[in-house]
């Protein structure tokens, strides 16, 4: 039985026709959800693409239970504006080709900070100076996670160090 949507006037319309999507005509809602890639598969493909393009400091951040905006955030850097743009373009192209996933992209023309919205995963590709300025990792990671990622947690200076610096 084909899924139907009831319009405001009470008419039942096949779901594929109502959405204008004829490519999925005849598929049940279960078939459609089964064809969508899992969040884990998308994350794995994102990380592989970033690694292939020599992105630096790749940090996946689990946002589940922390924020409703996404399940994962991935932060990385390119060495120059040109590399940031190339990394972003390749990532979007790979996700479209490999997983039929269409992402929204912001900031690609400037090449300083590119945000790629892949639905359940948001990717930030920075130039190093811009990444250092905004420090998104410090917003989303716990102190232990920051240390594991190579960042010194804020407020780690000992009280003795502060008194030693006083004349």
In a domain, 96, yes or no: yes
pLDDT at 157 over 50: no
Q: Alpha-carbon distance 26 to 34, whole Å?
A: 14
The domain that holds 110 is classified in CATH as: 3.30.460.10
Which pLDDT value is given to residue 114?
Answer: 97
In a domain, 117, yes or no: yes
- DSSP, residue by residue, 63-101: -TTT-SS-SEEEEEE-SSHHHHHHHHHHHHHHHHHHH--
pLDDT in tens, 10-60: 445 444 444 444 444 444 444 444 567 899 999 999 999 999 999 999 999
Owner of token pair 């589940």: 64
In a domain, 26, yes or no: no
In a domain, 112, yes or no: yes
Q: Alpha-carbon distance 5 to 17, whole Å?
A: 9
Q: How many independent structural domains does the chain possess?
A: 1
In sequence order, which residues have a C-beta less than 8 Å from that of residue 22 and are 6 or more positions away? 16
**Quick check: 17 and 7 in contact, CB under 8 A?**
no
pTM of the predicted protein model? 0.69
**Quick check: 81 and 111 in contact, CB under 8 A?**
yes
Mean pLDDT, range 72-91, rounded to an integer: 96
- Name the residue range of residue 121's domain: 39-151
**Quick check: 126 and 133 in contact, CB under 8 A?**
no
> What tokens appear for 21 in the block?
């999507």
Which pLDDT value is given to residue 100?
Answer: 93
In a domain, 156, yes or no: no
pLDDT at 6 over 60: no
Which pLDDT value is given to residue 140?
Answer: 87
Phi, psi of 131, deg, nearest 5 = -60, -45
pLDDT at 72 over 60: yes
Mean pLDDT, range 149-155, rounded to an integer: 61
In a domain, 23, yes or no: no
Which pLDDT value is given to residue 34?
Answer: 54
pLDDT in tens, 24-33: 444 444 444 4
DSSP classification of residue 54: T
């Amino acid at each position: 039985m084909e899924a139907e949507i009831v319009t405001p006037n009470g008419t039942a319309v096949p779901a594929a026709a109502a959405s204008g999507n004829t490519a999925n005509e005849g598929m049940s809602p279960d078939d459609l959800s089964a064809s969508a890639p899992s969040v884990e598969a998308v994350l794995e493909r994102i990380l592989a693409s970033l690694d292939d393009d020599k992105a630096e400091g790749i940090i996946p951040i689990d946002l589940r239970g922390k924020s409703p905006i996404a399940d994962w955030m991935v932060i990385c850097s390119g060495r120059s504006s040109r590399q940031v743009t190339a990394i972003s373009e390749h990532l979007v192209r790979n996700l479209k080709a490999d997983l039929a996933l269409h992402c929204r992209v912001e900031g690609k023309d400037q090449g300083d900070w590119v945000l790629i919205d892949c639905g359940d995963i948001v990717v930030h590709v920075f130039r190093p100076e811009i990444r250092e300025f905004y420090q998104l990792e410090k917003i989303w990671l716990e102190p232990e996670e920051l240390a594991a990622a190579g960042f010194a947690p804020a407020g780690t200076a000992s009280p003795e160090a502060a008194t030693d610096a006083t004349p």
